[in-house]
Copies of this chain bind each other. A is one copy, B any other.
């Protein structure tokens, strides 16, 4: 009885993990280097694309727009485009996105505690 190979499980696993593991579900939504930072920037008020760019100068335009698209697809942020020229596009947190903020605060608290912990 040879092992049965079931079609490269790399992406399969990801789906499975997301189904079984809610933590992975969250990670997939707010994971990646930039998404939490973007969410943090939008925690209070909506911001224009260019405002975000200036608020996070280290990010490339590609990554910014890519992250924003993903956040929008996962409807954590809402994109509002006024059909004027030059374009005027604002991004803001959706209800789901807003509910993420206290969660991120908890993560921050844990991070502070953990980084200050002394091991015996």
Q: Give chain A's interface residues, CB within 8 Å of chain B.
A: 9, 13-14, 16-17, 20-27, 29-31, 33-34, 36-37, 40, 58, 75, 95-96, 99-100, 103-104, 106-108, 110-115, 117, 119
CA distance in complex: A107, B112 (Å) = 18
Copies in the complex: 2
Q: A24-B33, A99-B110 are in contact. List 11 more A-B contacts (CB 8 A).
A: A14-B33, A16-B58, A17-B37, A20-B37, A21-B37, A23-B111, A27-B31, A29-B114, A95-B117, A99-B114, A100-B110
Contact B31 A111 (CB under 8 A): no
Main secondary structure of the interface of A (DSSP, over half): helix
CA distance in complex: A106, B117 (Å) = 22
Can you report 26 residue pairs joining A to B where beta carbons are below 8 Å apart?
A14-B33, A17-B33, A21-B37, A21-B40, A22-B107, A22-B108, A22-B112, A23-B30, A23-B36, A23-B37, A23-B104, A23-B107, A24-B36, A24-B37, A25-B107, A25-B111, A25-B114, A25-B115, A27-B31, A95-B117, A96-B113, A96-B114, A96-B117, A100-B110, A103-B110, A106-B106
